[in-house]
Structure 1
């Protein structure tokens, strides 16, 4: 019953947000770096922090510091969607949010300092990767849905490392968001508030899973996003570009923008690849290195061999 209540709460909240966004002109205008051509409402991912608030009210089996960290990082991201903030302000709030999450997980009192540092790097890395990868209709919502369902499966059938509701509520937020975004002409985009909130929530879940299971292979539940992000950063460094500026060099962007592959087909393709990897993860008992090799080598080969052929001369320079 609580899940049904939450789903309709998020659905109604999204419709209300559309009215607010229309009134305050919270929109995404296309530019030369965009993968879309029409003005669209930005910030539809606000349903993700609302799901976190709903969790705190209805379930609250996970520390409120963890939930508060997700809500705080979402709030600063929503503010950035409305009016661009400086990188320093965003980073400061992100660090504060991550600190709250780690405190809520008991890290600051019990974990060695180097694990705390690596955990900070992991969460911030996933957050920024999610932000980088949010560029076409459907990709953030559908990919996140696959990742969260995979984590839920592990939690139910392999390692019970957290409250199931803490995984199911972001799943519900993805379903609501996808209803408005997984379309040829999306009614809204996730915005920073959606991509950052999902990245933070998923990173928190994966960190908890890895530490509970003592198995790094579960980080590969994000293998497809991870490979695209890392290889694109390397590519941009080779081209001597500023990796913090907007661009159209991700593999999915080349497919959607240069090759004119349907946004929805690209999103489905990324999600299917991750499904295949996640099925392998839960059905094998290989060590991390072997799993990493089997999961990522095909992705690297696809990226390196196909991307130069798909890119136009204009984007390649």
Structure 2
């Protein structure tokens, strides 16, 4: 009953936000680098920080005792990202808030106590890089929502069946938010896009959970719960460096962009395929007893080979 009520509240929040976004013209206008062609409301991902606020209202003592630092980090990164959705901010401001949010996240996961100090800078780079990967991959209808749903579902399974590393509701609430967001976004003509507030918000939550799981178990293999995003972003960055392009500028070199823009494949099909491939990886990952180096080889050699083969074929076909 509680979860049904939360879904209803989240639906109401989304509908209210649509009225605000429409009134204040918070929209996403397509350009030559976009994978969409119609003006769409932006910032629908505001539902993710709202989901945490609701989590806090239902679990006040839990948030005060355990989840306050995560909540502050999430709300900080979502606030600055929402402002950036409305008006462009300087990189210094955004990166400063991202740094503060990551510090709060690492404090929440216990990383500062569990890891030697020389590892801390590596953690900062990996987490900020993964957050930006989440943002880079948020380019077509359904991608952020359904991919996050697969990862969160896998984390929920691990938490219930293998090792409980956090409160169950701390995973269920973002899952409910994903379902509500996908209702409006997983469409041929999306009602809204996540915006930076959405990709950064749900990315921060997912990364926080994975980091917490790794700190509790010492199993670094769980970083592969984001294997497809990681592989695509890293290989695309390498490609852009090889082509002497500015890796910080918007582009259309991701494989999903080539399928959406050049092949005209449905956004919903592409997003679903990415999520299904990640799901198969997660199933293997969760039940595998191989060492992490073996898992990495088993996952990335075939996945990377297929990825590069498809990309080279499309680039050759369209002379890109």
User: TM-score, with normalisation over the residues of structure 2?
Assistant: 0.95
Render the CA deviation track for 1:160-187: whole Å, top value 9, x for unaligned. 1111111111111110100000000000
Q: 1:114 pairs with 112, 118, 137, which one?
A: 118
Render the CA deviation track for 1:96-120: whole Å, top value 9, x for unaligned. 1111222233344554213332322
* C-alpha distance in structure 2 between counterparts of 1:85 and 1:315, whole Å: 35
1:11 and 2:11 matched: yes
Bigger shift: 266-275 or 54-63? 54-63
Matches within 5 A, 1:165-314: 165-311=169-315
1:88 aligned counterpart, secondary structure: helix
RMSD in angstroms over aligned alpha carbons? 1.4
Q: Quick check: 1:63–1:105 contact (8 Å CA) kept in 2?
A: no
1:138 and 2:128 matched: no
* C-alpha distance in structure 2 between counterparts of 1:219 and 1:106, whole Å: 17
Matches within 5 A, 1:34-53: 34-53=34-53
1:37 aligned counterpart, secondary structure: coil
Q: 1:147 pairs with 144, 151, 166, which one?
A: 151
Q: Quick check: 2:26–2:86 contact (8 Å CA) kept in 1?
A: yes
Measured after TM superposition, the shift of residue 315 of structure 1 is 6.7
**Relative to 1, partners in 2 of residues 1:315 and 1:139: Cα closer, same or farther, differing over 3 Å?**
farther
Measured after TM superposition, the shift of residue 314 of structure 1 is 6.4
* C-alpha distance in structure 1 between counterparts of 2:314 and 2:153, whole Å: 32
Measured after TM superposition, the shift of residue 313 of structure 1 is 7.0
* C-alpha distance in structure 2 between counterparts of 1:288 and 1:122, whole Å: 17
* C-alpha distance in structure 1 between counterparts of 2:126 and 2:166, whole Å: 19
* C-alpha distance in structure 2 between counterparts of 1:163 and 1:115, whole Å: 27
* C-alpha distance in structure 1 between counterparts of 2:263 and 2:142, whole Å: 18
Measured after TM superposition, the shift of residue 312 of structure 1 is 6.0
Listed as ranges, the gaps of 5+ residues in structure 1 are none
Render the CA deviation track for 1:80-108: whole Å, top value 9, x for unaligned. 00111111110000101111222233344
1:311 aligned counterpart, secondary structure: helix
* C-alpha distance in structure 1 between counterparts of 2:96 and 2:52, whole Å: 21
* C-alpha distance in structure 2 between counterparts of 1:228 and 1:161, whole Å: 29
Aligned to 1:88: 92
Measured after TM superposition, the shift of residue 220 of structure 1 is 0.6
* C-alpha distance in structure 1 between counterparts of 2:145 and 2:291, whole Å: 30
Q: Quick check: 1:40–1:188 contact (8 Å CA) kept in 2?
A: yes
Aligned to 2:24: 24
* C-alpha distance in structure 1 between counterparts of 2:8 and 2:306, whole Å: 41
Measured after TM superposition, the shift of residue 306 of structure 1 is 1.6
Render the CA deviation track for 1:181-225: whole Å, top value 9, x for unaligned. 000000000000000011111111111111111111111111111
Render the CA deviation track for 1:261-281: whole Å, top value 9, x for unaligned. 110000010011001101101
Aligned to 2:109: 105
Aligned to 1:64: 68
Render the CA deviation track for 1:109-152: whole Å, top value 9, x for unaligned. 55421333232223212210000000000010000000000011
Corresponding residue pairs, total: 316
**Relative to 1, partners in 2 of residues 1:107 and 1:281: Cα closer, same or farther, differing over 3 Å?**
closer
